[in-house]
A and B are shown apart, each in its own frame.
Chain A
Amino acid sequence: MTAILSRVRWLPVYLTLFMVFLYFPILLLPLFSFNDAATASFPLTGFTTRWYTALAGNDVMLGAAWNSLVVGLTVSIITTLLAICAARAVTRYRFRGQRPATGLIMAPLFLPEIIVAVSLLIVVLQLGLQLSLLTIVLGQIVFCLPYSMSVLMAGFDGFDRSLEEASLDLGETAFGTFRRVTLPVVAPAILASLLVSFTVSLDEFILAFFLSGTSPTLPVYIWGQLRFAAKLPEVLALGSIMMVASVLLLSAAELFRRNAERRLQARESKS
């Protein structure tokens, strides 16, 4: 008995179980979204794309998608701009309160999101602001900043100050140096930050749920639709699309990030 047990290789078994538990449910989503039945259950009845066609004609859903796009673009641009300044300061200079400042910027990553959402809601209401896409944008910027920061800090850490000095030394102006050296060298990190924060914003539910007024984003819309059993296949189709979009965006971000890292590492190891 013990001989048999010890001969079984447990690590692959554990890994398989883990992967099935993690990814199998997610794979069901696209599977049922192409199933020709109003309920998400086995056995499958047939292949159809009608749930996707129905989505295209759903004005409320399209409105929510538009909201998500607007919020996502705004959040990713503002977050990245703020994170560029903060990441550059943290990686370039040594100043009093540097560690606490960095810690506080990164904190939303670890705080319970629902607490952050409720607190922000109280503040917004106290200020007498109308709940709108703007309030979602404000809340999500706080939430996305740590993600952008970690991407950008990694990108800026390897940036060598003497590159800018070399450019100045060769006759280039400060602005020209920024355009011809600084920007191209850190561009992949900036692009990665934009993609990561857009994706986080696109999928973010709790803040959007608390801080949205009459115009919902996609996750909030999906939450609303779950009350209607008949709408489930459409939600599954929408979810599948969002999942694919997120995976594509994050893969692209990771590619850019690695590209930037390789470039900087190659320089350091050879010098």
Chain B
Amino acid sequence: MTDEPMIRIEGLSKAYGEFLALDDVSLTIREGEFFSLLGPSGCGKTTLLRLIAGFNAPTAGTIAIDGKASTGLKANQRPTNMVFQNYAIFPHLDVAENVGYGLKRLRLSRAEEARLVQEALDMVQLPDLGRRRANELSGGQRQRVALARALVMRPKVLLLDEPLSALDKKLREEMQAELRALQQQVGITFVLVTHDQYEALALSDRVAVMFNGRIAQMDTPMQLYQHPVTRQVADFLGGMNFLDSRILDETGERLTVETERFGRLTLAKPAGFAAAGGRATVGIRPERLRVLWDDERAEHEITGTVASRAYFGETTSLAVRVEGLDAPLSIVETNNFGADGLLVGAEIRLAYDPDALVLMSDLR
């Protein structure tokens, strides 16, 4: 093993006329890593994936795959294979012919080719569907065929373009677990494009969150969720209560701010922090606020009134109006302590840990 990353991207840009789809992106992806590109539609994530695959040429910048500069290399000369969003199963071929499509050019013996195809079909748990026609497959089966067709080529990097977005919720969750297990089994570098934050968090070793053609933040799922550097990233990754604050003191790495109700806090500055006119945005995730029952006490408490509630079965979401705060605080409680019994108008006390509050840049 060398230290050279599997994929090294430097200063990559892609323009379509006036529109800059990808704006000076640099990143590295390690060998064997499950890496996700996460962002809303139009953020450039698919553009980046297609540049790695070689379907489009960048306007500026370089991509090296497995230590080899890939500038000028077409898709058929790169050690990458792709699972397409609509799977792109060849309609005139059966399942085995689809899976064996890329092997045909390698001029293997008939027996060897059949063995590799069967191995790939076994791997995606479709061992008996070889002779099935493409139009006789269910959505989940098509997805597996597309996976097998790419994996049989033993790529250095497997690229996945929103592979689960066409499946219904239950099947999608099943396939997520399978995809993760498959990646660990084959040890190939996976690059996944998705707009589903839960998918990215659950599957990936690292995630790059993209907005407007740029990477806003790139980190492990837990770091991203707990320490978003901007308000945009925090918002995209789930619920967040944003609080306005006044800056009191600034040192090299820390900032002391004054907030309504949450008081004086000393918080770590996120990377690239930019304060806006002496004010800063502080946030706390809804599940980090906890309802206090009966005479239970906590070191840090806030009092408020339930303004609205939504019941989700395993959890209940509450919007709690707190005097002095502009917006109600949203909180999520699991239903094992009776949060589902709270009614609108109820006076409640909330506990929080000051370490759960994070400081973010506000780009808006």
Residues of A close to B53: CB separation below 8 A:
169
Q: Are B105 and A162 in contact (CB under 8 A)?
A: no
Q: Does A168 contact B (CB under 8 A)?
A: yes
CA distance A263 to B91 in the complex (A): 7
Q: Are A172 and B139 in contact (CB under 8 A)?
A: no
Size bracket, chain A contacts: 20 to 34
CB distance from A231 to the nearest CB of B (A): 49
Main secondary structure of the interface of B (DSSP, over half): loop
Residues of B close to A91: CB separation below 8 A:
none
CB < 8 Å: which of B80, B81, B86 contacts A271? B86
Q: Does A215 contact B (CB under 8 A)?
A: no
CB distance from B8 to the nearest CB of A (A): 21
Q: Taking A267-B135, A270-B138, A271-B139 as contacts, is the C-beta distance between A172 and B86 under 8 angstroms? A: no
CA distance A135 to B142 in the complex (A): 52
Interface string of B171-208 (1 = CB under 8 A from A): 00000000000000000000000000000000000000
Q: Does A113 contact B (CB under 8 A)?
A: no
A188 closest partner in B (C-beta): B92
Q: Are B84 and A171 in contact (CB under 8 A)?
A: no
Q: Does B321 contact A (CB under 8 A)?
A: no
CB distance from B159 to the nearest CB of A (A): 9
Residues of B close to A172: CB separation below 8 A:
76, 101-102, 105
Residues of B close to A168: CB separation below 8 A:
55, 74-76
Instruction: List which A248-265 residues lie within 8 A (CB) of chain B.
Output: 262-264
Q: Are A162 and B88 in contact (CB under 8 A)?
A: yes
A-B contact count (CB 8 A): 78
Residues of A close to B81: CB separation below 8 A:
169-170
Q: Does B27 contact A (CB under 8 A)?
A: no
Q: Are B101 and A170 in contact (CB under 8 A)?
A: yes
Instruction: List which B126-172 residues lie within 8 A (CB) of chain A.
Output: 134-135, 137-139, 142, 149-150, 153, 166
CA distance A268 to B83 in the complex (A): 17
CA distance A173 to B82 in the complex (A): 16
CB distance from B113 to the nearest CB of A (A): 14
Q: Does B90 contact A (CB under 8 A)?
A: yes
Q: Does B35 contact A (CB under 8 A)?
A: no
CB < 8 Å: which of B74, B89, B101 contacts A267? B89
On B, residues with C-beta under 8 Å from A are 53, 55, 74-76, 80-82, 84-92, 101-102, 105, 134-135, 137-139, 142, 149-150, 153, 166
On A, residues with C-beta under 8 Å from B are 160, 162-163, 165-173, 176, 180-181, 184-185, 262-264, 266-267, 270-271
